């Protein structure tokens, strides 16, 4: 079955299916969107008690439901000044050191840092021999992405690509998965030095948004770089502040420079995290 699933991934019209899913998820017909929301909540066991709005009728579209806001206080952001917190709810699929230009993907597979960052070798040089953590967001999770620490936005790179699924099966069987899929690379200056947050698209992911630019993907053009280094006022985001969201789920990869952070001992493969929980310490 796994082999058939991977075979389908290569044959499927990935972008067409994802864009059609996006149109369906943006449908506002009450009967249709209410039916989809209720079925989804039941199928995946979504905890609607955490959400500000808890009934299907409260949402304008399925995407409105999927990117739902949580009640104040539902997620506590670790307050220690030097703590690094999880950017999202999910499962850590990989974490550790970047070996030169190589990041661990799964079961002996690795992929190129420079390729992940859209082929930008100058940007990649800041993260050579650094650290990374990969957080997979399942369908039931809260799908807004938040800042692991305070940061000032310097650059965003939209990288077009494939739309393979990003679950454990594809991570183990598709080479260079995260460096092949469509993604938004967001680069910040932080107390931990240069930091990159990569929002990776996937099959049936209808869109990637950031709080400063709106929808980033899908984009009508190819690779695109937006420079915010000289913007006034600068785009500054506090630790725990929302920076983006997925319309349907995917993966966030967090990169830091060499010697910048220590991950907590529990931060390893298959560790469940909630947004705001401490995952590491910034080295001073």
Q: For 153-164, what is each residue's pLDDT tens digit?
A: 999 999 998 888
pLDDT of residue 202 exceeding 90: no
Q: What is the mean pLDDT of residues 122-144?
A: 94
Give the model's pLDDT for residue 154.
97
Which of the following is catalytic: 18, 126, 165, 250? 250
Give the model's pLDDT for residue 222.
79
The answer to whether the CB of 272 falls within 8 A of the CB of 91 is yes
Q: What is the mean pLDDT of residues 75-103?
A: 94
Give the model's pLDDT for residue 219.
72
Which of the following is catalytic: 89, 101, 120, 141? 89
Q: What is the mean pLDDT of residues 7-16?
A: 67
Question: Regarding predicted confidence, which is higher, 116 or 220?
Answer: 116
Size of the chain in residues: 284
Give the model's pLDDT for residue 88.
97
Q: What is the mean pLDDT of residues 248-270?
A: 90
- Label residue 56 by pLDDT band (50, 70, 90): very high
* CA dist., res. 27 & res. 62, Å (int): 7
- Least confident range of 17-21, 176-180, 266-270: 17-21
Give the model's pLDDT for residue 186.
97
pLDDT (tens digit per residue) in 16-54: 777 787 788 889 999 999 999 999 999 999 999 999 999
- Label residue 169 by pLDDT band (50, 70, 90): confident
Q: Is residue 250 flagged as an active site residue?
A: yes
Six token digits for residue 238: 């506090």
* CA dist., res. 268 & res. 25, Å (int): 33
pLDDT of residue 206 exceeding 60: no
The answer to whether the CB of 115 falls within 8 A of the CB of 161 is no
Share above pLDDT 70 across residues of the chain, in percent, rounded to a whole number:
93
- Among residues 207, 223, 217, 173, the alpha carbon closest in space to that of 64 is found at 207
Give the model's pLDDT for residue 108.
75
Which of the following is catalytic: 93, 141, 143, 146? 146
Q: Measuring CA to CA, how many Å separate 175 from each of 111, 166, 171, 250?
A: 8, 12, 8, 17
Q: Is residue 10 flagged as an active site residue?
A: no
- Label residue 189 by pLDDT band (50, 70, 90): very high
CA angle 213, 252, 4 (to 5 degrees): 120
Q: Measuring CA to CA, how many Å separate 51 from each of 31, 93, 128, 261?
A: 21, 26, 39, 32
Report residue 8: phi and psi, to 5°: -65, -40
Q: What is the mean pLDDT of residues 10-21?
A: 71
């Amino acid at each position: 079955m796994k082999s058939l699933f991977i075979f389908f991934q290569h044959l499927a019209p990935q972008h067409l299916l994802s864009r059609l899913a996006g149109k369906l998820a943006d449908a506002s017909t009450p009967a249709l969107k209410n039916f989809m929301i209720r079925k989804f909540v039941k199928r995946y066991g979504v905890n609607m008690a955490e959400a500000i709005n808890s009934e299907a009728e409260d949402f304008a579209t399925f995407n409105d439901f999927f990117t739902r806001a949580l009640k104040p206080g539902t997620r506590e952001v670790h307050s220690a000044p030097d703590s690094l917190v999880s950017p999202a709810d999910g499962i850590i699929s990989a974490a550790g050191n970047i070996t030169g230009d190589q990041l661990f993907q799964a079961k002996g597979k690795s992929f190129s840092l420079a390729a992940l960052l859209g082929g930008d070798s100058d940007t990649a040089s800041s993260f050579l021999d650094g650290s990374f953590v990969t957080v997979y967001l399942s369908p039931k999770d809260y799908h807004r992405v938040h800042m692991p620490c305070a940061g000032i936005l310097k650059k965003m790179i939209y990288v077009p690509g494939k739309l393979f699924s990003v679950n454990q099966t594809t991570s183990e069987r598709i080479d260079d998965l995260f460096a092949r899929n469509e993604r938004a690379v967001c680069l910040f200056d932080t107390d931990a030095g240069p930091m990159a947050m990569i929002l990776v698209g996937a099959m049936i992911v209808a869109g990637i948004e950031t709080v400063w630019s709106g929808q980033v993907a899908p984009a009508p053009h190819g690779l695109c770089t937006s420079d915010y280094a000289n913007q006034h006022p600068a785009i500054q985001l506090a630790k725990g502040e929302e920076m983006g969201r997925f319309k349907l789920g995917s993966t966030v990869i967090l990169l830091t420079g060499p010697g910048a952070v220590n991950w907590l001992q529990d931060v390893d493969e298959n560790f469940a995290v909630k947004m705001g929980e401490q995952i590491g310490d910034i080295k001073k």
